[in-house]
Amino acid sequence: MPLTAPAHAVHLRVLHLEDSELDHELMLAHLRAGGLEVDSRRVESEGGFRQALAEPWDVIVSDYNLPGFSGLKALEILRDQHSLLVPFILVSGEIGEQVAVQAMLNGANDYLLKDKLARLVPAVLHAIEGSEALRAKHEADLALGQSEQRLRELAQHLQASVEAERTAIAREIHDDVGGSLTALKFDLAWIERHCGNAAVAQRAQNAIETVMLAIESSQRIMHNLRPAILEQGLLAALQWMTQRFEKRSNVVTLLRTSHDTLPTLPAGVPLAAYRTAQEALTNISKHANATRVEVDLTIARGVLSLEVSDNGRGLSQDDLGKARSFGIRGLRERAAQVGGWVDLSSGPGGTTIILSVPLGTERSKSGRATQPDTGHHDSDDPTSWDML
Ligand SMILES: Nc1ncnc2c1ncn2[C@@H]1O[C@H](COP(=O)(O)OP(=O)(O)O)[C@@H](O)[C@H]1O
Ligand SMILES: [Mg+2]
């Protein structure tokens, strides 16, 4: 597409690498005749060129042959040391095809013959337009990268906040609701024993049963908020979870591990593994239509891996892209928080999700820093979950 000079005056800073003052004047005349306002400097040596590069230029026009220097060398210096974005146009008395190709490969925007300088203005405008588009793309890529990074940090922060909030609610239920219900149960039992009236005693007994149900419910709610079973170790918690899943879903569920006991895991890792298994099993009951599930827990060569596979219908890339599905995305963030990652594979034979966490790395050791420190560390207290 031929470019013409824009209607409004364009002001350009042009660095001209040229040993002939006459050719320089000729170039300026062409640019001005093409409607461009030009601030220009002529340099002819490597030193002068390097020095001039400290200043901002809209375009560099360079002769091919210079005494003791060359246009291709200048291009190399520019691309090596300076912005990739300053347009560079090579001009020569005679230019072989090979040289022209080499110049374009090295990042020149265009090349011209000295006797065809009529093409100079369109070439300059085109080169500037191209490098502005490139600059805009670079900036957009940079902004996108930064925004993705912020989003990742936000997601991790949200995970940590949700976990902290759950801990706080569970603790309140335990301390306030649990405490009051237990006191109520004792008082009702006292009334039942001392009232001396069969009808009142019966009422008190009914009330005790209701209170017991409320205690059970609050324990269930607390457990869902924060798995206290994890205090007995990840293995025990997974055993409990898989057995309960099998009973509730009627899907054959096997837990396999070659370990009788696990080494002490870095803070945050048991909970990440627990939540991964929990989400994987929930997904299986919601989506997979499976008849068999295997959960494998291994620690080998310093890496913990938890694998949950089912023989269900499998999932597609589209499933993972669902706008309102955050389960698996959340697991990836959670894994990253303890220095690990999640792999997912799926086919007609079913779906496998694997959590891998290198143990003993600085990140997983410092996982605790992501947990809120509540200053509540009584190990006999089932609510001291921040130690998990
Ligand atoms: N084990 C599985 N078998 C088949 N499909 C699955 C399985 N796990 C997840 N999916 C699919 O992947 C989607 C995304 O899962 P997830 O991120 O956990 O979100 P959600 O469960 O809230 O939909 C699900 O909606 C489902 O279509
Ligand atoms: Mg899910």
Secondary structure of the chain as H, E, C letters: CCCCCCCCCEEEEEEEECCCHHHHHHHHHHHHHCCEEEEEEEECCHHHHHHHCCCCCCEEEEECEECCEEHHHHHHHHHHHCCCCCCEEEEECCCCHHHHHHHHHCCCCEEEEHHHHHHHHHHHHHHHHHHHHHHHHHHHHHHHHHHHHHHHHHHHHHHHHHHHHHHHHHHHHHHHHHHHHHHHHHHHHHHHHHCCCHHHHHHHHHHHHHHHHHHHHHHHHHHHHCCHHHHHCHHHHHHHHHHHHHHHHCCEEEEEECCCCCCCCCCCHHHHHHHHHHHHHHHHHHHHCCCEEEEEEEEECCEEEEEEEECCCCCCHHHHCCCCCCHHHHHHHHHHHCCCEEEEEEECCEEEEEEEEECCCHHHHHHHHHCCCCCCCCCCCCCCHHHC
Amino acid, res. 52: A
Q: What is the Cα–Cα distance from 222 to 153, expressed in whole angstroms?
A: 28
Residue predicted with more confidence, 294 or 92: 294
- Assess contact for 69 and 49: CB atoms under 8 A: yes
Q: How far is the CA of 283 from the centre of ligand 2 (A)?
A: 5
The pLDDT assigned to 361 comes to 54
Task: List CB-based neighbours of ion ligand 2 within 5 Å.
Answer: 283, 327
Tell the residue nearest (CA) to atom 2 of ligand 1. Answer: 288
- Assess contact for 31 and 57: CB atoms under 8 A: no
Confidence of residue 379 (pLDDT cuts 50, 70, 90): very low
Task: Find the mean pLDDT for residues 344-348.
Answer: 93
Ligand 1 pocket test, pick from 287, 311, 313 with the greatest ligand atom count within 8 Å of Cβ, gives 287
Token pair of 176 as six digits: 């306030």
Residue predicted with more confidence, 219 or 306: 306
The pLDDT assigned to 375 comes to 31
Ligand 1 pocket test, pick from 291, 309, 315, 324 with the greatest ligand atom count within 8 Å of Cβ, gives 315
Task: Find the mean pLDDT for residues 319-341.
Answer: 88
Highest mean pLDDT among 65-69, 196-200, 227-231: 196-200
Task: Find the mean pLDDT for residues 166-178.
Answer: 88
The pLDDT assigned to 370 comes to 34
Q: At what angle do helices 234-249 and 269-283 cross, to 10 degrees?
A: 10
Ligand index nearest the alpha carbon of residue 326 = 1
Region of 192 please: left (phi>0), alpha (psi -120 to 50) or beta. alpha
Token pair of 242 as six digits: 């898989």
The closest alpha carbon to 81, from 110, 54, 60, belongs to 54
Task: Return phi, psi of residue 370, to 5°.
Answer: -85, -15
Q: How far is the CA of 145 from the centre of ligand 2 (A)?
A: 27
Q: Which residues pair with 309 in a beta bridge?
A: 294, 352
Task: Find the mean pLDDT for residues 349-363.
Answer: 86
Tell the residue nearest (CA) to atom 23 of ligand 1. Answer: 325
Task: Find the mean pLDDT for residues 64-80.
Answer: 89
The closest alpha carbon to 245, from 290, 299, 298, 211, belongs to 290
Task: Find the mean pLDDT for residues 238-246.
Answer: 94
Pocket of ligand 1 (CB under 6 A): 279, 283-284, 286-288, 310, 312-315, 319-320, 322, 325, 327-329, 351
Task: Find the mean pLDDT for residues 291-308.
Answer: 96
Q: What domains are defined for the chain?
A: 10-138 (3.40.50.2300), 228-388 (3.30.565.10)
Task: Find the mean pLDDT for residues 24-32.
Answer: 93
The pLDDT assigned to 132 comes to 87
Residues 6+ apart with CB under 8 A from 267: 365, 367, 368, 371, 387, 388
Q: Which atom of ligand 1 is nearest to the CA of 288?
A: 3
Map tokens 């050719």 to a residue.
Answer: 23
Average model confidence (pLDDT) across the chain: 86
Q: How far is the CA of 155 from the centre of ligand 1 (A)?
A: 19
The pLDDT assigned to 83 comes to 64
Q: Which atom of ligand 1 is nearest to the CA of 286?
A: 21
Region of 35 please: left (phi>0), alpha (psi -120 to 50) or beta. left
Q: What is the pTM of this model?
A: 0.60
- Assess contact for 295 and 277: CB atoms under 8 A: yes
Q: For strands 350-358 and 341-347, give the pairing.
A: antiparallel
Ligand 1 pocket test, pick from 275, 279, 283 with the greatest ligand atom count within 8 Å of Cβ, gives 283
Region of 107 please: left (phi>0), alpha (psi -120 to 50) or beta. left
Q: At what angle do helices 120-172 and 198-225 cross, to 10 degrees?
A: 150
The pLDDT assigned to 82 comes to 60
Least confident segment among 158-172, 224-238, 258-272, 359-373: 359-373
The pLDDT assigned to 231 comes to 82
